[in-house]
Amino acid sequence: MSGGGASRVLHGASLAAFVQALPKAELHLHIEGSLEPELLFRLASRNGVRLAYADVESLRAAYDFHDLQSFLTLYYQGAAVLREAVDFHELALDYMARAAADTVRHTEIFFDPQTHTGRGLKLETVMEGLLGGLNEGARRYGVSWALIPCFLRDLSEQEAFDTLELLLPWRQHFKALGLDSAERAHPPSKFQRVFARAADHGLPAVAHAGEEGPPSYITEALDLLKVVRIDHGVRAVEDAAVMQRLAREGVPLTVCPLSNLKLKVFSDLRQHSLRQMLRAGLCCTINSDDPAYFGGYVAENYRAIAEAQDLTREDLLQLARNSFTASFLPSERIAAHLAELDAFAAAN
Ligand code: HPA
Ligand code: ZN
């Protein structure tokens, strides 16, 4: 069966089937945010970590956030059950299985070194576990991966410099450096010198900007950190000049609809800025951010935003195309993925 028209809007079961089978890359996923409550409890028990919640149900019930900080508080608590390399291995392998089930062909994964070194773990423990789980996942499921360590922006510039020094011996395993955590009052400019030093080592920059912070943080990330991609960026619509610049320069945005909904960046997915950014020609992608906390992996993010905003079949294909072109993959791998996507479009 062929596509039946470029502007067809899909709904219901046909939409769900289309986005699930759509070949895609995921470019915004925090591995600590893929820690499902079941694994969290299992690791807590194995590692003798006491939890403030009696069971999986009461923990899940606590996933009712009113802003980014209310989420981050629980998210950092949750990460405390990760103690041994094997814990990180299981976490990464579980995510790779879920990604593969959503027809993710390539994934670029954030992790927060300071969340772990700050409670006494060695970076080596984290790296050994993540690399083991990701490599096993790649072998089992045929999903390629890249790793992007992030600095926590609510910590100091000096702590970011210290973390960069710790990371440099592992440089070959990283495709970029990122910036995440509490955005308000922690502008990109705070880390200009750290990202300049990372650039001396050939590490490109990406940064969360314009999630809760103002559009000026997007401009700072571009001008001061020299980012090649903006994570979230959904508040760009509040500034026409920022919108024009993002379109003109083709800066990719890693948009995470269910995250924005759960953290009350938008009150309703119908109010989300994705459609406006797409129509303005911005290079948007769809991602899951912290799927264990926000209630959906990447296909569910495509489905929910498409349903809420009447996205067309062509919009969905464009979002998937963008996910490959905005990745850190070499051009020949991107071309191969786009060819698979074209074949999917011809057949669906
Ligand atoms: N924003 C900032 N920091 C984060 C996020 C996010 O969406 N997820 C995990 N750390
Ligand atoms: Zn994020």
Catalytic residues: 211
Per-residue pLDDT tens digits for 259-297: 999 999 999 999 999 999 999 999 999 999 999 999 999
This prediction's pTM: 0.98
Atom nearest to 32 CA in ligand 1:
9
Cβ atoms within 10 Å, residue 221:
29
Best probe residue, ligand 1, of 28, 29, 69, 72 (max atoms within 8 Å of C-beta): 72
Ligand nearest to the CA of 153: 1
**Where does ligand 1 bind, in terms of residues with CB under 6 Å?**
30, 33, 68, 180-181, 208, 211, 259, 289-290
Q: What's the rounded Cα separation, in Å, for the pair 114 and 163?
A: 7
Residue showing tokens 């959904």 = 234
Question: What angle, rounded to 10 degrees, do the helices at 192-200 and 157-167 form?
Answer: 20
Domain architecture of the chain: domains with CATH: 12-347 (3.20.20.140)
For residues 43-62, average pLDDT: 97
Closest to 232 in 3D by CA, of 204, 260, 205, 269: 260
Q: How far is CA 337 from CA 36, 98, 324, in A?
A: 29, 19, 7
Neighbouring residues of the ion ligand 2, judged by CB less than 5 Å: 289
Closest to 323 in 3D by CA, of 282, 296, 284, 291: 284
Q: How far is CA 111 from CA 14, 114, 136, 259, in A?
A: 34, 9, 18, 17
Return the pLDDT at 5: 52
Q: What's the rounded Cα separation, in Å, for the pair 92 and 128?
A: 11
Tell whether the model's pLDDT for residue 3 goes beyond 50. no
